[in-house]
Structure 1
Amino acid sequence: MISRLSIYILTATILYGGLQKPTAGENLSYTHILFEWDQEPDAINYNLQVAENSSFTSLILDVEESTTNYIATQNFNWGSDYYWRVRPLYNNGNSGNWIEESSFSIQHHPESTPLPDLNLNTFDEDEVYDGVMVYSQFSPYFAVGAVDKYGNEIWNTITGYMNYISPYGEIYGLNGGQGIKFNFNHEILWQTPEGIDIDSHEIKQLANGNFMAFVPTFQLGPIPIGPWTDMAQDFGYTADGISNEFWWLGLRIVEFDKETGEQVWNWDPFIHFSMNDYDQYAGTWWNAIFEGFFDWMHTNAFHFDEEESAIYVSHRHLSRISKIDYPSGEIIWNMGLPTEFGTGSDNICTDLRFSFQHHIQLMDDGTLLFFDNGNISDIVAGDEDPITRLRRVRVIDDSYCETVWQHDLPANLHGLGMGSVQLLDNGNYFIYTFGSGLNSPECSILEITPEGDMVWKATSQNPNSAWYRSYKIPSIHPSAFSVIADNYTTNNNGDYIINISDGSIHFNIYNSSGYTQPYLYQFSDLTDGEVQMFDFSEGEFELGPNESTTLSFPQANPIDITNISLSIWPMHHSYDLKELFFTAISNSQPGDMNGDESINVLDVVLLVNAILNDNEFSNNGDLNGDGMINVLDVVLLVNLILVN
Structure 2
Amino acid sequence: MKYFTFILFSISIATTQLVKPVENDTLNYTHVYFEWEQIPGAKSYQIQVAGNDSAEFQNPLIERVDSTLLLIIEDGLEWDKTYQWRIREIDDNDSYGPWSESWSFYILPLHPELSSFNIVIYDSSGVQPGITIMDWLGSGLIYAINVYGDPVWFIDSDVEWNNGMDYKVQFTYFLENGNFIGLADGRESNEPGRVFEMNIENELVWQGPSELEGIGVHHDVFPMQNGNIIALTSQDTLLPVPEEIELPETYMYIDSLPWQGDRIVEWNRDGVEVWSWSVFDHFSFVDWNPNLYQDLLYTHPIPADFHYEWTHSNTVWYDPIDNAVYLSVRNMSRITKIDYDTGNIIWNMGQEMPSGDVTVGTDLGFSWQHSVKMLDNQNLMMYDNGNENDPFYSRGLEISFTETDSIPDTEIVWEYKLPDSVSSGLMSDCDRLPNGNSLLTSTTSNQILEVSPDSVKVWELLPFQEGSTFRSERIPGLFPQAFSVIQPDFIDEGFGPTIYLPSGETTLEYEIHNEGWMNETYEYSIIDNLGWFSETGTIEISPGIYAIIPMSGVIFDSGIIDTLMFTVIPQHAPLRYKVDTLFVNSQLFNAVGNVFPQKFELFPAFPNPFNPSTTIQFAVETMHTSTLKVYDINGRLVKTLVDEKLDQGIYSVLWKGTDKFGRPVSSGVYFYELQTEYFNQRRKMILLK
> Fold match, TM over 0.5?
yes
Q: Distance in 1 between matches of 2:557 and 2:201?
A: 43
Q: Residues 491 and 110 (structure 1 numbering): CA distance in 2 closer, same or farther, change over 3 Å?
A: closer
Q: Is the 8 A contact 1:484 1:509 kept in 2?
A: yes
Q: Distance in 2 between matches of 1:87 and 1:565?
A: 25
Q: Distance in 1 between matches of 2:297 and 2:355?
A: 17
Q: Give the match's secondary structure for 1:202.
A: strand
- Specify the alignment match of 1:18 in structure 2: 17
Q: Distance in 1 between matches of 2:494 and 2:232?
A: 62
Q: Give the match's secondary structure for 2:129.
A: coil
**Normalized per residue, which structure has more strand?**
2
Q: Which runs of 5+ in 1 are unaligned?
A: 7-12, 379-383, 437-441, 598-644
Let me know the Cα RMSD of the aligned residues. 2.9
- Specify the alignment match of 1:338 in structure 2: 352
**Normalized per residue, which structure has more helix?**
1
Q: Give the match's secondary structure for 1:76.
A: coil
- Specify the alignment match of 1:266 in structure 2: 276
Q: Is the 8 A contact 1:117 1:461 kept in 2?
A: no
The reply to whether residue 349 of structure 1 matches residue 361 of structure 2 is: yes
Q: Give the match's secondary structure for 1:88.
A: strand
Which letter maps to 1:458? L
- Specify the alignment match of 1:161 in structure 2: 170
- Specify the alignment match of 1:628 in structure 2: none
Q: Counterparts of 1:274-289 in structure 2 under 5 Å?
A: 274-280=284-290, 283=292, 285-287=294-296
Q: Is the 8 A contact 2:223 2:230 kept in 1?
A: yes
Q: Which has the larger radius of gyration?
A: 2
Bigger RCO (CA 8 Å, 6+ sep): 1
Which letter maps to 2:260? L
Which letter maps to 1:174? L
Q: CA deviation at 1:499?
A: 6.5
Q: Is the 8 A contact 1:337 1:344 kept in 2?
A: no
Q: Is the 8 A contact 2:45 2:87 kept in 1?
A: yes
Q: Counterparts of 1:493-572 in structure 2 under 5 Å?
A: 496-498=497-499, 503-527=506-530, 532-537=531-536, 539-556=537-554, 558-560=556-558, 561-572=561-572
Q: Is the 8 A contact 1:277 1:344 kept in 2?
A: no
Give the one of 337, 345, 353 matched to 1:323.
337
The reply to whether residue 184 of structure 1 matches residue 186 of structure 2 is: no
The number of residue pairs the alignment matches comes to 551
Q: CA deviation at 1:552?
A: 2.1
Q: CA deviation at 1:459?
A: 2.9
Q: CA deviation at 1:237?
A: 4.7
Q: Distance in 1 between matches of 2:363 and 2:419?
A: 22
Which letter maps to 2:403? I
Which letter maps to 1:332? I
Q: Distance in 2 between matches of 1:116 and 1:276?
A: 49
Which letter maps to 1:393? S
Q: Distance in 2 between matches of 1:219 and 1:534?
A: 63
Q: Counterparts of 1:27-66 in structure 2 under 5 Å?
A: 27-52=26-51, 53-55=53-55, 56-66=57-67
Q: Is the 8 A contact 1:120 1:458 kept in 2?
A: yes
- Specify the alignment match of 2:433 in structure 1: 424
Q: Counterparts of 1:37-436 in structure 2 under 5 Å?
A: 37-52=36-51, 53-55=53-55, 56-111=57-112, 114-115=113-114, 117-139=116-138, 141-159=139-157, 160-166=169-175, 169-175=178-184, 176=186, 177-196=193-212, 198-224=216-242, 229-230=245-246, 232-237=247-252, 243=255, 245-258=256-269, 260-280=270-290, 283=292, 285-287=294-296, 290=300, 292-339=306-353, 342=354, 344-378=356-390, 384-397=391-404, 398-434=407-443, 436=444
Q: Is the 8 A contact 2:174 2:181 kept in 1?
A: yes
Which letter maps to 2:388? I
Q: Give the match's secondary structure for 2:523.
A: strand
Q: Which runs of 5+ in 2 are unaligned?
A: 4-11, 158-168, 187-192, 595-689
- The CA deviation string for residues 514-537 of structure 1, in whole angstroms up to 9 with x for no partner, is 22333333322233xxxx211242
- The CA deviation string for residues 572-612 of structure 1, in whole angstroms up to 9 with x for no partner, is 3333222222222345789x9xx999xxxxxxxxxxxxxxx
Q: Residues 237 and 336 (structure 1 numbering): CA distance in 2 closer, same or farther, change over 3 Å?
A: farther
Q: Distance in 1 between matches of 2:562 and 2:307?
A: 69
Q: Give the match's secondary structure for 2:106.
A: strand
Give the TM-score normalised by structure 2: 0.74
Q: Residues 313 and 257 (structure 1 numbering): CA distance in 2 closer, same or farther, change over 3 Å?
A: same
Q: Give the match's secondary structure for 1:126.
A: helix
Give the TM-score normalised by structure 1: 0.79
Which letter maps to 1:134? I
Q: CA deviation at 1:493?
A: 9.6
- Specify the alignment match of 2:610 in structure 1: none
Q: Distance in 1 between matches of 2:393 and 2:496?
A: 73
Task: Tell me which moved more, 297-306 or 45-54.
Answer: 297-306
Q: CA deviation at 1:559?
A: 4.5
Q: Give the match's secondary structure for 1:329.
A: coil
Percent sequence identity over aligned pairs: 28
Q: Distance in 2 between matches of 1:267 and 1:29?
A: 39
- The CA deviation string for residues 432-485 of structure 1, in whole angstroms up to 9 with x for no partner, is 112x5xxxxx3111111000011111135546x431110001111222211112
Q: Is the 8 A contact 1:115 1:143 kept in 2?
A: no
Q: Distance in 1 between matches of 2:410 and 2:317?
A: 18
Which letter maps to 2:452? T
